[in-house]
Structure 1
Amino acid sequence: MFQHFQVQTILPTQQHLGWKFSFFYKQRKISGLYHPNGQIDWESPLTFLENRNLIEKQVHDLMLFHIYDHER
């Protein structure tokens, strides 16, 4: 469903602020900030997304893989 999912850690000082992520969905670039508590702040307008809940679930699943499983 997503293409080119990318994650970048945000570490301005000693405090971990979260992860910046981006991906393409239906030929549109979508980006946002994923917080350590699982909250998502979207940087891209999501007004065209008809399946927002499904997309947020997939972002959570991908972030769990990139944050926890991938770093082992």
Structure 2
Amino acid sequence: MLMHFQFKPLFENKNIPGWNFSFYHKKQRVTGVYHQTGKIEWTTNVPEREEIEALSSQIHELMLFHVYE
């Protein structure tokens, strides 16, 4: 489960798509980059391989809700 999910534009020009995101998972802060294509680049505390698919799905849902309303 994602706790304290946050995101912000990757670029100062907010018309350029791309977002930095962060959240807590298993008491560790996880960060990454969410690209316009939906690709996720994990930058710190990469989740375990078997968790990546479920977490990616949750991130996609949150980004669709918050960014592409």
Same fold (TM over 0.5): yes
Task: State the number of aligned residues.
Answer: 69
Q: TM-score, normalised by structure 1?
A: 0.81
Could you list the runs of 5+ residues in structure 1 that have no partner in the other structure?
none
Q: CA RMSD in A?
A: 1.9
Q: Does 1:10 align with 2:10?
A: yes
Q: Which stretch shifts more, 41-50 or 17-26?
A: 41-50
Contact 1:23 1:31 in 2 (8 A): yes
Q: Does 1:43 align with 2:43?
A: yes
Q: TM-score, normalised by structure 2?
A: 0.84
Identity %: 36
Give the Cα separation in 2 of the matches to 1:2 and 1:47: 12
Match of 1:26 in 2: 26
Contact 2:31 2:45 in 1 (8 A): no
| More contact order relative to length (CA 8 Å, sep ≥ 6) | 2
